[in-house]
Amino acid sequence: MTRKFDFIGLNTVISEAFKPLHHVTPATARKAGMDAGIKGTTPSNCHHSYFASSELEKEWYGGYRMGKQNRED
Residue 8 placed within a domain: no
Residue 45 placed within a domain: yes
pLDDT at 54: 97
Side-chain-side CA neighbours of 6 within 13 Å: the count stands at: 5
Cα 46 from Cα 8, distance rounded (Å): 24
Residue 5 placed within a domain: no
- Report pTM: 0.75
Using the Cα atoms of residue 16, residue 20, residue 22 and residue 27 in order, give the sign of their dihedral.
Answer: positive
Residue 16 placed within a domain: no
pLDDT at 18: 76
Structural domains counted in the chain: 1
Residue 29 placed within a domain: yes
Is residue 60 within 8 Å of 48, Cβ to Cβ?
Answer: no
Residue numbers of the domain that contains 34: 22-69
For the beta carbon of residue 38, count every other beta carbon within 10 angstroms.
Answer: 17
**Running along the chain, 73 residues long, what does each successive block of 10 average in pLDDT?**
71 72 94 95 90 96 95 75
Residue 47 placed within a domain: yes
Residue 13 placed within a domain: no
